[in-house]
Chains A and B, each alone.
Chain A
Amino acid sequence: MAYEVGKGGFLANLGKIYGGYAGGFIGFTIVLAILEQMGVSNQFIGYAFVFLTIGVYAYIGILSRTMDVSEYYVAGRVVPAFYNGMATGADWMSAASFISMAGGLYLAGYNGLGYVLGWTGGYVLVGVLLAPYLRKFGQFTVPDFLGTRYEGNTARALGVVVLFCASFTYIVSQCFGIGIITSRFLGIPFEIAIFVGLIGILVCSMLGGMRAVTWTQVAQYIILIIAYLVPVIWLSTTRYGIPIPELTYGQALAQIAELEKTLGVVKAHTSAFTNAQGQFSWTEFHNFWALVLCLMVGTASLPHILMRYFTTPSVKQARESVGWSIFFIFLLYFTAPAYAAFAKLEVYQDVIGQPIAQLPIWVQNWSQVGGLLTIRDANNDGILQLAEFVINQDIIVLSMPEIAGLPYVISGLVAAGGLAAALSTADGLLLAIANALSHDVYYKMINPQATTAKRLIIARALLVIVALIAAAVAGTRPSGIIQMVAWAFSLAAAGLFAPLVLGIWWKRTTSAGAILGMICGFGVTLFYLVATRYFDMPLWFGIRNISSAVFGLPVAFIVTWAVSLVTTPPSKEMQDFVDSIRVPSGAVKAEAAH
């Protein structure tokens, strides 16, 4: 990492640097594997993975420190499409993708695939509808765009409110995930583990802002993808002799289907839209579509993702970068169902039906982490039945190597990967929140005369404060990871998608229309979420609150459209501004607008 020697040197050698880094990490894993065979304790291996990787991220974070506004907010706009794709991959794939998604698929079978679809398809919306135009606009934050396009601080402030609600919900879930991993692998209480992880987040982002987060995220992507793929490839090879799990898990699915008959499982793993009784259910059917829609639109509305495309050198590269992003994300997502299938097969074959007294050690290890795994001999026969084995979706991925009897070094590797996923997303979110508060609220709305140094100090102070609050809230265990993340998507989708897309694609959108649309869309979604979650309001049409945006989204579009039509059309200057961001070349005519 030769930032000091000159940016040119570093950027010209990205391939070499990260190639060497990936090789080094694999070497480190092999050394630990050898040490394990020589009798080094599991605890040492857990500590080595957690602290070494956090140390590397901290090192990159410190090397990338900066006092330049453009470097701090948008990494100097020098990040090549390919590497921005990797960074977006890490930014995107959080504790929910890494830790919970395969677990969700394990438990929900086909119905869980809504997450897989929803968390990938949204990139088509990002690439086609938004990213290139926001890149051309060329400011620092998503609320910047709203403030310019909809002339003033009302739209900007609303943008900040939505951003804050969505990103904060999201970051709490990440702190939760970090807490699970560090507490399991360091053997410390959950509440303390969260704060240990917090240090890991802050060292990456505080000194170098977006620049540091970008280059750390590339490093984190490399670790998380290696960690995710290794155990599945291992299992695929040992079971079926072919190291391509995405191809071989079809056989696992077939074996599961057989075992389901023997074990008397009524809800088949691969059957679509079935309820717990294994019958086709319209509620499941509707919820599947609602979830897919909310997650996809949410993808295209989450500021920490959109702001990654502010960092590429050009509009063209922003578009290509979306392609690379989804490619790198795809590598994990099309493997997750294989993970779930292998885990289920292991449990069905080797755990269920065993004498409880002889269950392997991993069962005890995981039983100690906050009630995430319970084994209860309900009929006192000493044998584990399927109904007596309750596993939480958040630990399936983390415990799978142990379940399958792989060496402990693989468990450590997976923990490092999960930590990388949670830390990288937490960093991106934290930066999105702190930047919106420091840039949009403080600099644009409160003190436009602030000096650069003061702005950056405020940004850092806010970063620490937001991180501390998020960790404290996560300590109260508000909900499961995947639910919290899905709420964040719904909140962002309902509040931001309509004003962003219409602002670019429909010149007639007026400020009043967009502002009212945001208020109504976001309001409906927030109301539905809070009322169903905390006040026991009955569900509308049986739609679960993880898909709350299904109600807010159409409201946002209809209100924006109707109000825009009855208010004065945007000025000639504003229309010129929209024209100027629709083409990659030429200047952005933003002065006229604001």
Chain B
Amino acid sequence: MADNMTPEKREQHWAKTSNLMRTLMFLWFIFSFGVHLFAVQLNSVTILGFPMGYYMAAQGSLIAFVVLCFWNASAQNKIDEEFGVAEE
């Protein structure tokens, strides 16, 4: 259990957790800001009537956010199980 975790294990667990956090924050940044910096250029491409710059802000990024949240839940859970600090 977590109460008798060695400091080394604790640090490893947190290092892995922090890594996952950084990965997710990077992707979050890309889909929140990075992609839309090019909205004007993307808008010159039109698929099914959607200018792509508009599409990314109206739908594309949103789908990415949903995926990121579920991914975070499952990846963090794996880390917790690996270190034996998951609940139950």
Given A120-B62, A327-B66: A296 touches B47 (CB 8 Å cut-off) = no
Provide the bound-state CA to CA distance between A271 and B42, in Å.
Answer: 10
Contact A289 B33 (CB under 8 A): yes
Are B87 and A116 in contact (CB-based, < 8 A)?
no
**Which listed residue, B1, B31, B33, B87, touches A315 by the CB 8 Å rule?**
B87
CB atoms of B62 and A586 under 8 A apart = no
Q: Restricting to B20-74, which residues have a CB under 8 Å from any CB of A?
A: 20-21, 24-25, 28, 31-33, 36, 39-40, 43, 46-51, 53-55, 57-59, 61-63, 65-66, 68-70, 72-73
Contact B28 A580 (CB under 8 A): no
In angstroms, Cα B43 to Cα A85, docked, is: 34
Question: Are A292 and B73 in contact, CB atoms less than 8 angstroms apart?
Answer: no
Is A587 positioned at the interface, with any CB of B under 8 Å from its CB?
yes
Chain B interface residue count, CB cutoff 8 Å, equals 52
Taking CB atoms, residues of chain B closer than 8 Å to A333 are 62
Contact indicator B54/A113 (Cβ below 8 Å): yes
* Smallest CB gap from B85: residue in A: A583
Query: Which residues of A sit under 8 angstroms from B2, Cβ to Cβ?
Result: 580, 583-586
With beta carbons under 8 angstroms apart, the residue of A120, A320, A583 that contacts B65 is: A120
CB distance from A17 to the nearest CB of B (A): 26
Residue from A113, A251, A293, A580 having most chain B Cβ neighbours under 10 A: A113
Asked if A132 and B40 sit within 8 Å, CB to CB, the answer is: no
Say whether, besides A123-B69, A322-B69, A323-B66, A132 and B58 are in contact (CB < 8 Å): no
- Residue among B32, B55, B66, B73 making CB contact with A117, cutoff 8 Å: B32
Q: How far is the CB of A132 from chain B (nearest CB, A)?
A: 7
* A window 550-594: CB within 8 A of B: 579-580, 582-587
User: Is the contact region of chain B dominated by helix, strand, or loop, or is it mixed?
Assistant: helix
Task: Find out whether the CB atom of A585 lies under 8 angstroms from the CB atom of B32.
Answer: no
Q: How far is the CB of B65 from chain A (nearest CB, A)?
A: 5
Contacts of B80 in A (CB 8 A): 316, 583-585
**Are the CB atoms of A585 and B50 closer together than 8 Å?**
no
CB distance from B74 to the nearest CB of A (A): 8
Residues of B contacting A316 in the complex (Cβ-Cβ under 8 angstroms): 73, 77, 80, 86-87
Contact call B48/A323, Cβ cutoff below 8 A? no
Whether the pair B57, A113 counts as a contact (CB closer than 8 A) is yes
A-B contact pairs, 6 of them (CB 8 A): A110-B53, A128-B28, A270-B51, A288-B36, A293-B33, A584-B80
Task: Known pairs A124-B72, A292-B32, A585-B84; list 11 more (Cβ under 8 Å).
Answer: A110-B39, A127-B68, A127-B72, A128-B25, A270-B54, A271-B43, A322-B72, A325-B69, A330-B66, A505-B18, A579-B10
- A254 lies within 8 A of chain B by Cβ: yes
Q: B28 to nearest A CB, angstroms?
A: 4
> Any chain B CB within 8 A of the CB of A436?
no
Known pairs A113-B58, A116-B58, A121-B61; A253 contacts B88 (CB<8 A): no
A288 to B20, CA, bound (A): 28
CB of A3 closer than 8 Å to a CB of B: no
A5 to B3, CA, bound (A): 38
Given A128-B25, A323-B66: A121 touches B72 (CB 8 Å cut-off): no
The answer to whether A319 and B68 touch across the interface, beta carbons within 8 angstroms, is: no
Report how far A305 CA is from B72 CA in the complex, Å: 19
Residues of the B chain whose Cβ atoms lie less than 8 Å from the Cβ of A121 = 28, 31-32, 61, 65
Minimum C-beta distance from A246 to chain B (A): 7
Q: How many angstroms between the C-alpha atoms of A437 and B40 in the bound complex?
A: 48
Contacting pair B39 A273 (CB below 8 A): yes
Identify which of residues 238-288 in chain A touch chain B, using a CB-to-CB cut-off of 8 Å. 246-247, 249-254, 270-273, 280, 288
* A326 CB–B CB distance under 8 Å: yes
Whether A383 sits at the interface, judged by CB under 8 Å, is no
Distance (whole angstroms) from the CB of A211 to the closest CB of chain B: 22
Q: A253-B49, A584-B87 are in contact. Are A322 and B73 (CB under 8 A)?
A: yes
Q: Given the complex, which residues of A lie within 8 Å of B59, measured CB to CB?
A: 246, 334, 337
Q: Give A123 to B64 CA distance when docked, in angstroms.
A: 12
B69 touches A127 (CB 8 A): yes
A residues in contact with B28, CB < 8 Å: 121, 124-125, 128
Q: Are B65's CB and A251's CB within 8 A?
A: no
Indicate if the CB atoms of B1 and A330 lie closer than 8 Å. Answer: no
**Cα separation A358 to B76 with both chains bound (whole Å):** 61
CB distance from A342 to the nearest CB of B (A): 13
A273 proximity list for chain B (CB < 8 A)? 39-40
Q: Which residues of chain B come closer than 8 Å to A586, judged between CB atoms?
A: 1-3, 5, 85
Kindly state whether residue A314 has any CB partner on chain B within 8 Å. Answer: yes
Partner of A124, one of B18, B40, B65, B85: B65
User: Which of B5, B18, B46, B73 is in CB contact (< 8 Å) with A320?
Assistant: B73
Complex Cα gap A319–B73 (Å): 5
B54 touching A584, Cβ below 8 Å? no
Q: Is A161 engaged at the interface, CB distance under 8 Å to the other chain?
A: no
